Amino acid sequence: MRLRALGALTLAVAVTSSIAPLTAAQAATATPHDVGTASTEFYLAHGNDASIGGGTVIDNTSPSVSVSSDLKTVTANIQGWELSLSSSAPLAPGTYTSGVSITVTMGTSYNCATGSFTIIEMSATDVNATFSLDCGPSASVPDSVGFLRYNATVDTPVPTTPNAAQAITDPPNSGTTSANADEFSFNSAPGDYIGVGSSVDFTGANLVVGGTQGTATVGAGTWTLDLSAPAGGLLVPGTYTGATGYPFNSGTAPGISLYGDGRGCDQYYGTFTIYQIASDATGALSQLNATFTQTCEKTTAPPLVGFIRYNATEPTPIPAFLTASASPVAGASLADGSTNVTLTAKSNATAGASYSYNFGDGAAATVSASSSATKAEYEGTYPVSVTVTDAGQITTSATGYFTVGDGYHAVTPQRLLDTRYGTGGTKGPVAKNGKVTITLPTSITNSGHGTLSAVVINLTVTQPTALGLVTAYSTGLSQNPTTSNLNYSKGETIANLVTVPILPGGKIVLSVSSGGTEQLIADLEGYYTAGNDPTNAGYGSVTPTRILDTRHDTGGAGGRVAGGKTIKLKLPSSVPTGATAIVLNVTAVAPSKAGVISVFPDGTTPNASNLNFPASENLPNLVIVAVPADRTIDFKNGGSGAVDILGDLDGYFSDSATSKFVPYYPTRLFDTRKYGGALDPFYYESYTMAYALQVPVAALTASLYNVTVTAPTASGYVSVVPDPIKNLPSVSNLNFSKGQTIANGVLAPMTNGVQDYLNGSPSGSIQLISDFFGYFAKPLATTAPPSSPNAKPSANVKSPLAGNAVAAPTARLGGSAFAR
């Protein structure tokens, strides 16, 4: 099986070098650590006896800087530190020794307001200044010094202090640490929650190192690093992968946690390598030489990297980190629906370096002398990596997870099939266990936006002479799916929104399983294309929210909707400007007569419908509707009786949204009739999608399902929501009556890679079936997917606030999007 993909995307894998050290000449003559190339930089060095941050160095080229409108105050913030330079008069070049205030704070704990500063350049848009702080034991010697450059254009003198534990000529991660020095250092990329894009470096007596033969703890300033062997094991030289948060790591997982400055992860993931480690006669740690990487549970920033040297006698490799970015350019997908994916490595490697690129598709790595490589790929999520080898030594090997997906195009609803009247080429009832094939219009098969990958239709069954079900799929599949899209009873008229993954050149097959006949109707609602055309809209998840409820005047349309009447919904601000379509779960409530609801952009009158309902029955359907320029959506009651209408917002599509769709071969996730048993009142079923798909939690935003309820013992509803469920959801996806079998399409958001299905019936149990058709994911993530399912109780727990209905899956979903 092969994956199909979205147009040309670029993954820039940046192997970031360490901060270049100051030479003795630079420290004395006045240029910043990067030899004046950074126009913006905040540098702060503390002496050993400084009242704040003793012995540490802060050096960052992306501080937050602001200048007051009266030019009397300058502030800079980075990594929990704040610098303030102020005067009673507008600041101008010169030295300020009185009537001034310099404050440096870490959180809310420490400050120093005694010192002086010199302004070199000053305006509303640029600052160049040096400063010194005098809050230590010796008032005659500055204990903390530094400089601030903000859009600076001339070199800045770098002040020094004789009290510094390490010379200012050795800034963070310089790699010049002598063989017997003690040092704790880490670098982080912008967006990392712990390091917030800055560097930290401590040396000498500023480190407190302890531990046993199985654990190591490093304290430096406000920072703490914990490393541990798997439970009951010893730390020995080697690389420890799959580390989780210490001290909560268990089983075979090693432990890691780096926290400080008021920040810590809920869940930690990392890797560390021990080069040297020893204990004294009492078992206390006496030597440690190690490197480490760490990331938090929800960040898509590259992992921070660092090292610890404690009584080390051998050199320590200076680690680098990986950054990634997606840069689509105009154009459609390749002829076969694939796309060119480019990996680019950025490092301080010298000429003659070699690069090994792994695109994560099972093929051999691409080895090249070039700092970039390109390969055609299909939709899916790939663990991509690059290894840079310089002068015979491996500089770094880093991995990210990259998703190639498809964009959505909304259309004015168009009727493709109506067997009652011969629309679409088939006229008359569909025979017992029959099939109907829909030829797709050229407006979507040759749209110019890329290769067609999936079609969204509203499928309706009417006049069935027996109960049955309909399955929709593409021609050309190697085997027909065992899923279903629409279940119906004898005499019932019912609709469901269906997303059908389409193979290149394929048509839609509607396969009926029934002992009777029925009429079929299919309305085109939209389609997905591979490629990177600028109009390929991404998906934006939202917390499901009720934006229309005529019973309570929510949405401004109060009161029951009379037969033939159209109401208008002005979209709320939760739907961002630029949205091209929205996803709604629309429910007809307490209709006085059977009827039909059509949902469409204001100003259009399509010959299509979205929801058919019988008298006195609450019935939902998923709707994807285009957003017009006036942001108004119309709801028309096409029946003769009155009805209340609910609309729950599940998400939106826009050109700026980053999550793209990866279509999947229709797959049955679970069926409680065969596994787990009936779902009792207020029980919920959990499914660990991130593990099943092997997609990083940080990337996975939503999944597309068809959810079916059968054999309910009482009326109720189903809500498909992100895990964990803490309170009863205020919205629903599927309403059912006692004894009814009913299905509904669901596009459900996820926040932690786990999907919950709640039986909202207060008094009845249900059997629940979920079929899977694809997922939405952000293009880039550097966190790894779960290596195993979340631990789940094997028995039902009778509360929406604790537990779940069944255990997590025991195997991953196999294969890819669909056979080709």
- What is the DSSP code string of 336-402? TS-EEEEEEEE--PPTT-EEEEE-SSSSPPEEESSSEEEEEE-SEEEEEEEEEEETTEEEEEEEEEE
In single-letter form, the type of residue at position 763 comes to: S
In the block, tokens 């009379």 appear at: 562
If asked whether residues 793 and 700 sit together in one domain, one would say yes
Nearest-10 Cα torsion for 617, 621, 626, 627: 60
How many Cα atoms occupy the beta-carbon half-sphere of 748 within 13 Å?
Answer: 31
**Quick check: 732 and 699 in contact, CB under 8 A?**
no
Identify the domain boundary among 150, 166, 198: 150
Q: Let me know if residue 562 belongs to a domain.
A: yes
Measured between alpha carbons, how far is 278 from 272 in angstroms, rounded to an integer? 16
If asked whether residues 243 and 107 sit together in one domain, one would say no
Alpha carbon of 113 to those of 127, 131, 135, 417, 684: distances in Å? Answer: 20, 12, 8, 77, 57
In single-letter form, the type of residue at position 527 comes to: Y
Calculate ∠ Cα 714-709-593, nearest 5°: 70
If asked whether residues 379 and 417 sit together in one domain, one would say no
Measured between alpha carbons, how far is 242 from 445 in angstroms, rounded to an integer? 45
Name the helix (H) or strand (E) containing 692: helix 689-693
If asked whether residues 492 and 559 sit together in one domain, one would say no
Q: What is the radius of gyration, based on Cα positions, of the chain?
A: 31
How would DSSP label each residue in 169-222?
A: TS-TT-S---TT--EEEEE--TT-TTTTT-EEEEEGGGEEEEE-SSEEEEEETT
| CATH code assigned at 377 | 2.60.40
Q: Let me know if residue 477 belongs to a domain.
A: yes
| Alpha helices for 383-535 (secondary structure H) | 442-445
pLDDT of residue 32: 33
pLDDT of residue 372: 76
φ and ψ at residue 58, rounded to 5 degrees: -110, 125
pLDDT of residue 198: 77
Q: Look up residue 767 and give its two tokens.
A: 């059997």
* Global pTM exceeds 0.85: no
If asked whether residues 265 and 192 sit together in one domain, one would say yes
Identify the domain boundary among 404, 428, 458: 404
**Cβ within 8 Å of residue 282, ≥6 positions away:** none
3-state secondary structure of 691: helix
pLDDT of residue 789: 58
Residue 157 has a CB neighbour count (10 Å cut-off) of 16
3-state secondary structure of 204: helix
**Quick check: 644 and 542 in contact, CB under 8 A?**
no
Q: Which long-range contacts (CB under 8 A, 24 or more apart) does 595-598 make?
A: 595/563, 595/637, 595/638, 595/639, 595/640, 595/641, 595/643, 596/637, 596/638, 596/639, 597/635, 597/636, 597/637, 597/638, 597/643, 597/645, 598/413, 598/634, 598/635, 598/636, 598/638
φ and ψ at residue 449, rounded to 5 degrees: -100, 0
Residue 446 has a CB neighbour count (10 Å cut-off) of 9
In single-letter form, the type of residue at position 120 comes to: I
pLDDT of residue 644: 95
If asked whether residues 426 and 393 sit together in one domain, one would say no
Q: Let me know if residue 763 belongs to a domain.
A: yes
221: phi > 0 → left, psi -120 to 50 → alpha, else beta; which? left
Identify the domain boundary among 357, 382, 404: 404
pLDDT of residue 781: 66
If asked whether residues 350 and 425 sit together in one domain, one would say no
If asked whether residues 334 and 256 sit together in one domain, one would say no
Nearest to 344 by CA among 325, 320, 328: 325
**Quick check: 175 and 17 in contact, CB under 8 A?**
no
Nearest to 536 by CA among 606, 452, 441: 452
pLDDT of residue 360: 84
Measured between alpha carbons, how far is 748 from 651 in angstroms, rounded to an integer? 9
pLDDT of residue 178: 44
Measured between alpha carbons, how far is 698 from 324 in angstroms, rounded to an integer? 14
Name the helix (H) or strand (E) containing 29: helix 24-29
pLDDT of residue 819: 25
Measured between alpha carbons, how far is 681 from 759 in angstroms, rounded to an integer? 6
Q: Let me know if residue 168 belongs to a domain.
A: no
**Quick check: 277 and 289 in contact, CB under 8 A?**
yes
**Quick check: 86 and 129 in contact, CB under 8 A?**
no
Pairing of strands 339-346, 268-279: unpaired
3-state secondary structure of 283: coil
**Cβ within 8 Å of residue 25, ≥6 positions away:** none
If asked whether residues 771 and 702 sit together in one domain, one would say yes
Measured between alpha carbons, how far is 670 from 658 in angstroms, rounded to an integer? 29
pLDDT of residue 440: 96
Measured between alpha carbons, how far is 685 from 669 in angstroms, rounded to an integer? 11
603: phi > 0 → left, psi -120 to 50 → alpha, else beta; which? left
Measured between alpha carbons, how far is 439 from 417 in angstroms, rounded to an integer? 9
Q: Let me know if residue 128 belongs to a domain.
A: yes
3-state secondary structure of 27: helix
Buried b (16+ CB within 10 A) or exposed e, 515-540: ebbbbbbbbbbbbbbbbbbeebbbbb
**Quick check: 239 and 232 in contact, CB under 8 A?**
no
**Quick check: 359 and 339 in contact, CB under 8 A?**
no
If asked whether residues 701 and 776 sit together in one domain, one would say yes
Measured between alpha carbons, how far is 80 from 515 in angstroms, rounded to an integer? 70
Measured between alpha carbons, how far is 725 from 233 in angstroms, rounded to an integer? 37
Q: Let me know if residue 664 belongs to a domain.
A: no
3-state secondary structure of 91: coil
If asked whether residues 292 and 353 sit together in one domain, one would say no
Measured between alpha carbons, how far is 246 from 152 in angstroms, rounded to an integer? 43
Q: Let me know if residue 491 belongs to a domain.
A: yes
Whether the bond between 90 and the residue before it is cis, its omega within 30 degrees of 0, is: no
pLDDT of residue 328: 43
Q: What is the DSSP letter of 205?
A: G
End-to-end CA distance of the chain: give it in Å, rounded: 7
Measured between alpha carbons, how far is 355 from 367 in angstroms, rounded to an integer? 6
Q: Let me know if residue 173 belongs to a domain.
A: no
* Domain that residue 286 falls in: 183-310
If asked whether residues 433 and 396 sit together in one domain, one would say no
Q: Look up residue 471 and give its two tokens.
A: 């399955």
Below-50 pLDDT ranges, the chain: 1-36, 106-108, 163-179, 322-332, 348, 392, 394, 790-820
Whether the bond between 724 and the residue before it is cis, its omega within 30 degrees of 0, is: yes
3-state secondary structure of 761: coil
Measured between alpha carbons, how far is 253 from 28 in angstroms, rounded to an integer? 48
Determine whether 238 is exposed, middle or buried from the number of CB atoms within 10 Å of its CB (0-12, 13-18, 19+): exposed
Nearest to 312 by CA among 179, 173, 185, 212: 179
**Quick check: 19 and 173 in contact, CB under 8 A?**
yes
φ and ψ at residue 116, rounded to 5 degrees: -145, 165
User: How many structural domains comprise the chain?
Assistant: 6
Q: What is the pLDDT of residues 789-806, one digit of tens each?
A: 543 333 333 333 333 333
